[in-house]
Structure 1
Amino acid sequence: MKKMKMEKDPTTLFINTLLFFFFLQFQRFLSVSDSSLFPIEALPTKSGYLPISPTSTSSIFYTFYEAQNSTSPLSQTPLLIWLQGGPGCSSMMGNFYELGPYLVTNSLTLQPNPSSWNRIFGLLFLDNPIGTGFSVASTLEEIPTNQNAVAEHLFAAITRFVQLDHVFKHRPIYITGESYAGKYIPAIACYILEKNSVLKDNERVNLAGVAIGNGLTDPVTQMVTHAENAYYVGLINERQKHELEKLQLEAVEWVERRNWSEATRARNRVLDVLQNMTGLATLYDYSRKAPYEDELVAKFLNIGAVRKALGVKVDELFVYEKCSKIVWAALYADLMKSVKYMVEKILKEEMRVLLYQGQRDLRVGVVQVEAWVKSMKWEGIEEFVNGEREIWKVNGKVAGYVQKWKSLSNVVVLGGGHLVPSDQPLNSQVMIEDWVLEKGLFGSALELNVSTNFVYDG
């Protein structure tokens, strides 16, 4: 029997060798495939999970990219934090579709983004609130239903991140984001200011400013502008304008009754009717012939190799969604509540605030933001509203307009829609860098008066 077995061994050995060879080739193929999907140079500097509480397993997923070419020592290099809107939309959208160092292509590969916001700053993306994107909510009850809970979780995550490396401790932090982050950002900024007032120096968050893009901050004031805005842009006629105005008033009535869920539903009707009236591909940018292709990010992040590269720890059956329906539902009644008073408080504390809007956004654009800004109770609002609107140029071409008074700056970005960093990548990069560094039109009053034709040369 042993002899007969020995006589078969050469064949068995050959088959095993052949199988082993194919296995190595397959592994090599997977390696090449993974590398092409997520090249090493595109990996975050750090990524993982930031706990929101020592008594909970819920945590906020993050990806961090250190500055590519910092102009100052890392211990002094500004750190930008990006929050997506929604509510419930993942900041990986901003990362891989708008302003991160590598963007997803139609072929589900990554390509360098020369206009990334981490050119000279550190850049941290947070999937907020818990339950959003790859963030973990241990129970449905822990998902925030108001901005106070959102701020509490964000504060825990940010302080935990700063503790990951001593070099982060004294870096100036700027919290940025777009859309529904127009509520998250004022909430976390106010929370930080309150906590800093009672914390020791070495425990404080070094918040230096906030930047809100196309932000939903004072929903009622913003919502009642839709009919007039669409009419004067030429997208609806007078009869349609009156129809929309009636729907807008219905939403206002629900707010006055403090029936927040019905108010949200009423606002949704206004936007749905406006969409049907105009026939546009998207209200987020009235010039687009097709909606944004941000579904590419979801397809990309549902690839196992990509998740592994990012350090994602979820079940293989977990399906990444660009926007969480569960989080949306949790914050549904919060949507029409204003946080304008929080922005007023931030400004009274002389915190630097940047508001920017893409010119072509019909949902939360220029008209919507101006409506609530000029209604603020802030000692500098009259000077701001009556101030000069400066022409902003990038490389000799008009990029938009800047209005500034003391710590408040507002930018209208020409040719931009709701996703400004995607629509106008270079100009958005120039804007955020100059604002943080207080250069050009974002500089002192003297610079402001002489820089009407400022040209960005960097």
Structure 2
Amino acid sequence: MYGNFLELGPWRVKFQEQRHDSFTLEPNPGAWNRKFGILFLDNPIGAGFSMASSPQEIPRDELSVAKHLFIAITTFLQLNQSFKSRPLYIAGESYAGKYVPAIGYYILNKNAGQLTEHRRVNLAGIAIGNGLTDPVNQVATHASNAYFSGLINQRQKIELEKLQSEAIDLAKLGLWSQATNIRYAVMDSLQKMTGLATMFDYTKKVPYEINRVTRFLQNEVVKRALGVKESVGFHRCSDAVKNALHEDVMKSVKNMVEMVLKKKSKVLLYQGQYDLWDGVASTEAWVRTLGWEETGNFLMAERKVWKRDGKVAGYVQKWRNLSNVAVFGAGHLVPVDQPLNSQEMIENWVLDQGLFGEKDLLSNHWGTFS
């Protein structure tokens, strides 16, 4: 629901400056449904308005999450046959850096299995914004990223690197819960060292308005308008979900991204440049290790300057069906910070236009791969 009312839906919450409990809606000029239909799903069970009958029902791994999503998507398509033949793109941000590859992987495996043709899902691509996808490679980047951004000094960098190494070592031993705890310790330490208002964007003086959107969604009038029972509460991320997925945090789904790429579905990765959680350096760290036959060519592909209305909007690196975009002037929630630029990005990527429609080029500085 945050994506709907804070980021990329047709309407977004407009906050009254003087009243924390007063809300109105305004049209979103950067909505992603200008050319496409969008279905928002609260995921996993137990998050948002999605109810779990018991804590045991909440999934504890990505394939279980994907199974639930697959049921939701296929049920929607069965009830709305006009969407059945349309290409499906699945997008998400942050921890959805795991959910999105997992459902893509699950759909492609189902399509290749025993499903009859009319029951197959027409998956065209997946998009991951500022995602946590391959935590071991990603956690290793936080100290250097903060140091070279001028946010910590050499001594603090060394201190963080020790914690990062501990998280990595624990993950390699399969001690997932302990590894998750140390990853959180890395981020907590970085927060204390920098004193930033939010780790999601180190340029912001105040955090994103997420809590106020939560209050909006908990309003009884809003719930009635959305068709939600008054007895159902909205949970941004419940303790039950957090506990259920605690051991999942440091586990990688990079293999699932590799499978999606090998099946020729499109993959878009995009990150706001100011994000200290899952930003540009974090994503590039795991992309370099992809077990995909085109990884070498992707790494040598030209990184092009993306401009909108004559102004720099970001940087696009593309090879075959993989695109990676660094979004200028944005943090963890790219559509909040750059609504019009994010709109252009997603539309051009889906429609193979702009820089996404240009011929793949290898950098002249590095030669070519055979």
Query: Where does residue 281 of structure 1 map in the other structure?
Result: 197
Listed as ranges, the matches of 1:273-352 within 5 Å are 273-315=189-231, 318-352=232-266
Contact in 1 for aligned 2:196/2:202 (Cα 8 Å) = yes
Q: Does 1:121 align with 2:31?
A: no
From 258, 282, 289, the counterpart of 1:368 = 282
- Whichever residue aligns with residue 212 of structure 1, its letter is I
Displacement of 1:250? 1.1
| Secondary structure of 2:276 counterpart | coil
Aligned partners of 1:132 and 1:235: how far apart in 2? 33
Query: Where does residue 187 of structure 1 map in the other structure?
Result: 102
TM-score, length basis structure 1: 0.76
Displacement of 1:305? 1.1
Aligned partners of 1:303 and 1:140: how far apart in 2? 25
| Secondary structure of 1:111 counterpart | strand
Instruction: Calculate percent identity across the aligned residue pairs.
Output: 60
Deviation digits for residues 231-272 of structure 1, max 9, x if unmatched?
111111100110001111111121122111110000000000
- Where structure 1 has 5 or more consecutive residues not aligned to the other structure, the ranges are 1-91, 450-458
Query: Where does residue 8 of structure 2 map in the other structure?
Result: 99
Q: Does 1:438 align with 2:352?
A: yes
Q: Does 1:163 align with 2:78?
A: yes
From 20, 41, 49, the counterpart of 1:134 = 49
Aligned partners of 2:358 and 2:120: how far apart in 1? 27
Aligned partners of 1:157 and 1:113: how far apart in 2? 27
Contact in 2 for aligned 1:217/1:340 (Cα 8 Å) = yes
From 335, 353, 363, the counterpart of 1:421 = 335
| Secondary structure of 1:363 counterpart | coil
Query: Where does residue 181 of structure 2 map in the other structure?
Result: 265
- Whichever residue aligns with residue 228 of structure 1, its letter is S
Aligned partners of 1:99 and 1:444: how far apart in 2? 26
Query: Where does residue 154 of structure 1 map in the other structure?
Result: 69
From 134, 140, 143, the counterpart of 2:58 = 143
Query: Where does residue 229 of structure 1 map in the other structure?
Result: 145
Aligned partners of 1:136 and 1:262: how far apart in 2? 28
Displacement of 1:428? 0.1
- Whichever residue aligns with residue 25 of structure 2, its letter is L
Aligned partners of 2:277 and 2:207: how far apart in 1? 14
| Secondary structure of 2:316 counterpart | strand
Q: Does 1:400 align with 2:314?
A: yes
| Secondary structure of 2:314 counterpart | strand
Contact in 2 for aligned 1:134/1:314 (Cα 8 Å) = no
Q: Does 1:208 align with 2:117?
A: no
Aligned partners of 1:340 and 1:166: how far apart in 2? 33
Aligned partners of 1:298 and 1:440: how far apart in 2? 36
Contact in 2 for aligned 1:283/1:362 (Cα 8 Å) = yes
| Secondary structure of 2:40 counterpart | strand
Aligned partners of 2:238 and 2:356: how far apart in 1? 36
Displacement of 1:444? 4.1
Q: Which protein is bigger by CA-based radius of gyration?
A: 1
Contact in 1 for aligned 2:46/2:235 (Cα 8 Å) = no
| Secondary structure of 1:116 counterpart | coil
Displacement of 1:332? 0.7
Deviates further, 297-306 or 239-248? 297-306
Contact in 2 for aligned 1:281/1:288 (Cα 8 Å) = yes
Contact in 2 for aligned 1:354/1:410 (Cα 8 Å) = yes
| Secondary structure of 1:353 counterpart | strand
Aligned partners of 2:314 and 2:173: how far apart in 1? 40
Looking at both structures, which has the greater relative contact order when contacts are Cα pairs under 8 Å and sequence separation is at least 6?
2
Aligned partners of 1:256 and 1:169: how far apart in 2? 42
| Secondary structure of 2:56 counterpart | helix
Aligned partners of 1:122 and 1:325: how far apart in 2? 32
Deviation digits for residues 108-145 of structure 1, max 9, x if unmatched?
11111011000110011000111111112122111100
| Secondary structure of 1:105 counterpart | strand
Deviation digits for residues 63-119 of structure 1, max 9, x if unmatched?
xxxxxxxxxxxxxxxxxxxxxxxxxxxxx0111001111111113111110110001
- Whichever residue aligns with residue 389 of structure 1, its letter is R
- Whichever residue aligns with residue 422 of structure 1, its letter is V
Deviation digits for residues 178-234 of structure 1, max 9, x if unmatched?
010000011000100011112111100111000000010000100011111111111
Aligned length: 355
The RMSD of aligned alpha carbons is: 1.1
| Secondary structure of 1:141 counterpart | helix
Aligned partners of 1:325 and 1:443: how far apart in 2? 43
Query: Where does residue 383 of structure 1 map in the other structure?
Result: 297
TM-score, length basis structure 2: 0.94
Displacement of 1:314? 4.6
Contact in 1 for aligned 2:93/2:129 (Cα 8 Å) = yes
Contact in 2 for aligned 1:94/1:100 (Cα 8 Å) = yes
Aligned partners of 2:95 and 2:201: how far apart in 1? 17
